[in-house]
């Protein structure tokens, strides 16, 4: 089995070159902002050195998924239905959380409790109308799963206030190795007020105990008006999150405006700048900000220009894909492929398309069999099997 292409070394060297050959297959993408240096190497074509196995079809927008101990999969449809996928068939799970399906909101991410085999807790993020105001906002809900239905629903966090806007709910979930639960909530389309204000929800990464209580060492617990669950702020719309097994860090990818999608390493109390700094511009091509950095604000470890609309996030395991080991996988909603980012430490050195043209890549997970699984809008769940 051989996965790497000869292009990778060339691309890695290109990143450190001050001049690029026009039309080169490794040429960086052009930025439409004067004076901005772009760190995005051009994505290499799909090597097709693998086989795609369809696990199940018939999903419109399979947003979240996680694997049960027996290898079956819980999959959420954004419209509000939860399915169990087993032996190539999908069965609706009864008593899914009630959601407000509006715009980008609905039934979103899913993650099992680290001790699921003993407690049966499953966690969801969702657009919830709970609250006095009209509209909805991001909530974290947990429930117990008995194999066919959910019970014992608890809303352990509800962002507020509700708004009738349909954009930027986030939202992804991750547990770290200490049992803390992290989740993201996008800025809900109110970039001027929410992301930089720790007294307001949205545009944040949050950290909770598994029962929804606030860790005593969260960064803003002693700030009188702060939302105590906030762990970092200044985010736009994170739709990918993982706990990195090597670095023991929470990583997120998030949508920028036009250009400037980012990968960030979450830091306790960190301000990630949105909307005061950005590598993107407004959708009408006007300047959002001239600043790509400010003192006291964190920089991404990587950004895309143009935007790929990232969603889903995973680290490739060595056991099944030795030549991809440690690379990062990110789904592209905009360009409809799975992006493989080859890493040197925490630096991206090349990009490669996988699953090109199959549809909008909403999510990517590593299964208990150490294979890559991807959720594709309008299609379903597929598995990548390396050619030997």
Catalytic residues: 168
In the structure encoding, which two tokens stand for residue 278, read together? 């950005």
**Under a CB-based contact definition with an 8 Å cutoff, are residues 299 and 290 in contact?**
no
In the structure encoding, which two tokens stand for residue 228, read together? 């105590």
**Under a CB-based contact definition with an 8 Å cutoff, are residues 110 and 76 in contact?**
yes
In the structure encoding, which two tokens stand for residue 53, read together? 């196995």
**Under a CB-based contact definition with an 8 Å cutoff, are residues 204 and 233 in contact?**
yes
Q: Which residue is it, tokens 């799963």?
A: 145
The DSSP line for 201-239 is -SSEEEEE-TTSPPPTT-TTTTSTTS-TTEEEE--S-EE
**Under a CB-based contact definition with an 8 Å cutoff, are residues 172 and 313 in contact?**
yes
Strand partners, 263: 253, 302
Distances (CA, A) of 139 to 34, 163, 177, 270, 362: 40, 13, 23, 22, 20
> Quick check: helix, strand or coil at residue 274?
coil
Find how far residue 107's CA is from the centre of its chain: 15
Could you give the CA distance from residue 319 to residue 324 in angstroms, rounded to a whole number?
A: 10
Q: Which residues of 325-379 form beta strands (DSSP E)?
A: 328-332, 337-344, 347-354, 361-366, 372-376
In the structure encoding, which two tokens stand for residue 77, read together? 């449809």
For 330, list phi and psi in degrees, rounded to 5: -140, 130
Which burial class, exposed, middle or buried, applies to 313 when counting CB atoms under 10 A from its CB (0-12, 13-18, 19+)?
buried
């Amino acid at each position: 089995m051989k996965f790497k292409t000869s292009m990778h070394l060339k691309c890695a060297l290109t990143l450190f070159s001050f001049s690029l050959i026009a039309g080169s297959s490794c040429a960086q993408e052009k930025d439409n902002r004067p004076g901005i240096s772009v760190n995005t190497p051009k994505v290499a074509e799909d090597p097709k050195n693998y086989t795609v196995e369809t696990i199940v079809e018939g999903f419109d927008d399979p947003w979240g998924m996680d694997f049960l101990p027996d290898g079956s999969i819980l999959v959420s449809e954004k419209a509000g239905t939860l399915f169990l996928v087993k032996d190539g068939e999908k069965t609706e799970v009864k008593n899914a959380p009630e959601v407000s399906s509006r715009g980008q909101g609905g039934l979103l991410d899913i993650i099992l409790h680290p001790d699921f085999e003993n407690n049966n807790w499953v966690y969801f993020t969702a657009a919830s109308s709970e609250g006095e105001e009209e509209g909805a906002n991001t909530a974290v809900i947990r429930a117990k799963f008995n194999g066919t239905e959910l019970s014992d629903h608890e809303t352990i966090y509800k962002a507020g206030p509700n708004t009738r806007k349909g954009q930027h709910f986030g939202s992804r979930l991750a547990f770290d190795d200490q049992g803390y639960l992290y989740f993201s909530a996008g800025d809900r389309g109110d970039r001027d007020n929410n992301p930089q204000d720790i007294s307001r929800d949205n545009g944040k990464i949050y950290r909770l105990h598994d029962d929804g209580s606030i860790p005593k060492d969260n960064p803003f617990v002693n700030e009188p008006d702060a939302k105590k669950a906030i762990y970092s702020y200044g985010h736009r719309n994170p739709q990918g999150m993982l706990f990195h097994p090597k670095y023991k860090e929470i990583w997120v990818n998030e949508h920028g405006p036009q250009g400037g999608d980012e990968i960030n390493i979450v830091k306790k109390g960190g301000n990630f700048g949105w909307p005061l700094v950005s590598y993107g511009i407004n959708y009408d091509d006007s300047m959002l900000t001239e600043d790509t950095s400010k003192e006291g604000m964190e920089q991404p470890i990587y950004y895309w220009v143009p935007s790929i609309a990232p969603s889903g996030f995973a680290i490739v395991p060595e056991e099944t894909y030795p030549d991809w080991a440690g690379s990062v996988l990110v789904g592209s909603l905009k360009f409809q492929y799975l992006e493989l980012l080859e890493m040197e430490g925490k630096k991206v050195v090349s990009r490669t398309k996988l699953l090109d043209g199959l549809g909008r890549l909403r999510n990517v997970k590593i299964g208990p069999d150490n294979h890559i699984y991807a959720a594709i809008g309008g299609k379903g769940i597929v598995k990548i099997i390396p050619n030997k």
